[in-house]
Amino acid sequence: MVRDNNEDLTGSQKSPDGSQEAIHPLRGAALIADEVSRLPARPGVYRMMNDAGDVLYVGKAKSLKNRVASYAKSGGHSNRIMRMISETRSMEFVVTATETEALLLEANLIKQLKPRYNVILRDDKSFPYILIASDHAAAQILKHRGARKRKGDYYGPFASATAVNRTLNTLQKAFLLRSCADSVYENRTRPCLLHQIKRCAAPCVGLISPEEYGALVGEAKKFLDGDSVSVQRRLSQDMEKASEALDFERAARLRDRIRALTYVQGSQDINAEGVSHADIFAIHMDGGAACVQVFFFRAGQNWGNHAFFPKHDREDEPPAILSAFMAQFYDGREPPGLILTSQTPDQDELLGEALTLRAGRKVTITSPKRGEKRAIMDQALMNAREALSRRMAESATQQKSLARLAEALGLESPPQRIEVYDNSHISGSNAVGAMIVAGPDGFEKKQYRKYNIKSADLTPGDDYAMMREVLTRRFARLMKDADAQTRPDLVIIDGGKGQLSAALGALQELGFDCGAEGVAIVGIAKPRRETESGEKRVDRTMGAVGEQIVAPGKEPFLLPPRDPALFFVQRLRDEAHRFAIGAHRAKRKKSLGANPIDEIPGVGPAKKRALLNHFGSAKEIARAKPEDLACVEGVSEALAQRIYDFFHGA
């Protein structure tokens, strides 16, 4: 990619002092026409922004001048494009060497900026892989997600963690490869449980020679590369030889391995015959919404599928949606050699060239019309149709729940973003605050956040102070970022008047309006009654009635039994509980495994291991004198004194 350094393509105007103004004095079609006069007839990417600087649209062009000029023409535009043009207040441009590079850059920018008028891949999670790591004498097989930094062979992607775990489980039965970490492997003195249940050959204690273990690794790689026939044939021959030699125990082990391989090949939801290594994209549209069902086929096996629901305009056609979706889908992912689509995407040849450039080998995009590939595509289309039908039914239910909640709480319109807050701790220890987010599309789990309580002067177990800290941190960041898309319409606090008062205080200190014109905020709590002694306790007799809603300036009230708003609020509260408790348990588990030695400056893993081997425990290290600590290999007198001072408060 190259920029044209001879021309100002930023779309901004320079003031006399040389600084750039953020907004062009022209707007809409007039601004676009003005930009065209300075654009080259070269490939590139353009961005259109509104008066707030938000990116409205990212596009690519074979000729920037010709493509952008089409927006300046009057007439011939859809309503969506006309709205986009009218909102445009500035533009930015990047010139590229080829149209292929422009397509790759466009996909990257769309994923980063998520413009309002582009087709957007919303569920952009990374898929898991199987890794056979080769950075150790005894190769390790494990699940991998993320950047491929470790040396080894990667197989995938798998559509879900469940799919990869199921395949890993059967591969361990078939090839007996180790899955333990290198540190565990180095410290084994006897076989682990996995060897006892016939899932590992135990190379750690020498029960198999390095040559024999290497042969198992080679067989596993062959199988994952698609050469399953020769692997099974060799295992069958070895089983027959063992049986003829009356070595029935070895024959039984080989039989179990063959069964495991057969299970992997036979447990496919869609028949993969005729498709060895390919991704399948099937798109179905209904009611202005689209579902793209993606199937992964590797080594002649179906490694799972995933349904995506890209954000797009109702006027967009399936070929355009599919083309934009695929470009973003493979941004950061390696495409296979063959990609099958239910219909030909827009600019399929250009897209194929871009993916070939990304993969470093030939990538073919084709839409099968008949035969085995078409039969598989028809099944993928059926899955896309069923997934979209379920999604639309869930969305309709969610919209009804939001509308009823707005009515019950007296809101002017159904909330589009609900944030629910909860705290979790045990007597104040490992305290965690949690925020979950819900909207028209259900729970937005990518938006969930957890907050480690940091206030040093906070009394352990003070729920009100914890809620105040969490709300202060959340909304202070919101004010700093000024992102309208993450501004909630409704905040729900798990708690009664005390928690709600703390939350209101935090928001008011930051200057947030919590009235009808600002952020709506309510608390949800169990109904309470006053005992004869004057103590307020949860009224268990009212459990069937529901939850108590506490709102500013109103008396607490109960939602009617069997009210959809009641069930919806309870779902929100339960999800907040689940997330908060999970975050607290994870923090507590981490603290239980913490060692005070880890906090001593200058003591790394090697010195820590040497100290523990010498003294036996952190408690004994704390009791040791400096001269005793200095006897440990690698511990200098200065470090020994530092360790002693750490434990004795010097």
Per-residue pLDDT tens digits for 463-475 = 898 999 999 999 9
The CA distance from 294 to 325, in Å, is: 11
The CA distance from 631 to 637, in Å, is: 9
pLDDT tops 90 at residue 319: yes
Predicted local confidence at residue 578, as pLDDT = 93
For tokens 């798998």, the residue is: 158
Give per-residue pLDDT as tens, 130-161: 899 988 889 999 999 888 888 998 888 887 78
Q: Where are the alpha helices (DSSP H) in 190-298?
A: 193-196, 210-224, 228-244, 248-266
pLDDT tops 60 at residue 270: no
Instruction: Pull the structure tokens for residue 320.
Output: 């355009």
pLDDT tops 50 at residue 288: yes
Handedness of CA 6, 7, 10, 15 (dihedral sign): positive
pLDDT tops 70 at residue 462: yes
Instruction: Pull the structure tokens for residue 596.
Output: 């005070």
What b/e sequence results for 383-399 when a residue is b if at least 16 CB atoms lie within 10 Å of its CB, and e otherwise? Answer: bbeebbeebeeebeebe
The average pLDDT across 79-106 equals: 90
Predicted local confidence at residue 171, as pLDDT = 81
Instruction: Pull the structure tokens for residue 426.
Output: 């045990």
pLDDT tops 90 at residue 393: no
Average pLDDT, the chain: 83
Residue type, 226: G
Which one is predicted more confidently, 598 or 110? 110
The average pLDDT across 567-581 equals: 92
- The structural domains of the chain, ordered by start, are 28-113 (3.40.1440.10), 129-266 (no CATH), 281-289+307-390 (no CATH), 418-591 (3.30.420.340), 596-648 (1.10.150.20)
Q: Peptide bond preceding 157: is omega within 30 degrees of 0, i.e. cis?
A: yes
The average pLDDT across 254-277 equals: 63
Assign 95 a pLDDT band (cuts: 50, 70, 90): very high
Assign 272 a pLDDT band (cuts: 50, 70, 90): low
pLDDT tops 60 at residue 271: no
C-beta of residue 92 within 8 angstroms of C-beta of residue 49: yes
Share of the chain above pLDDT 70, in %: 87
Predicted local confidence at residue 324, as pLDDT = 92
Instruction: Pull the structure tokens for residue 33.
Output: 């026409």
Which one is predicted more confidently, 6 or 458? 458
The CA distance from 105 to 187, in Å, is: 48
Q: Which helix (H) or strand (E) holds 381?
A: helix 371-409
pLDDT tops 60 at residue 212: yes
pLDDT tops 50 at residue 367: yes
Instruction: Pull the structure tokens for residue 479.
Output: 């004010």
pLDDT tops 50 at residue 222: yes
C-beta of residue 475 within 8 angstroms of C-beta of residue 451: no
Predicted local confidence at residue 237, as pLDDT = 75
The average pLDDT across 38-51 equals: 91
Which one is predicted more confidently, 325 or 243? 325
Q: Beta-carbon neighbour count of residue 622 at 10 Å? A: 15
Give per-residue pLDDT as tens, 474-520: 998 888 776 667 889 899 999 888 899 998 988 888 887 766 557 88
Closest CA to 395 of 442, 353, 358: 442
pLDDT tops 60 at residue 317: yes
- β-partners of residue 278 are 297, 338
C-beta of residue 70 within 8 angstroms of C-beta of residue 48: no
Residue type, 219: E
Counted residue by residue, the chain has a size of 650
Pairing of strands 44-49, 90-95: antiparallel
Predicted local confidence at residue 573, as pLDDT = 92
pLDDT tops 50 at residue 2: no
Closest CA to 582 of 470, 430, 417: 430
C-beta of residue 225 within 8 angstroms of C-beta of residue 247: no
Q: Any idea which of 297-311, 324-338, 519-533, 600-614 has the lowest mean pLDDT?
A: 519-533
The average pLDDT across 358-377 equals: 90
- β-partners of residue 90 are 49
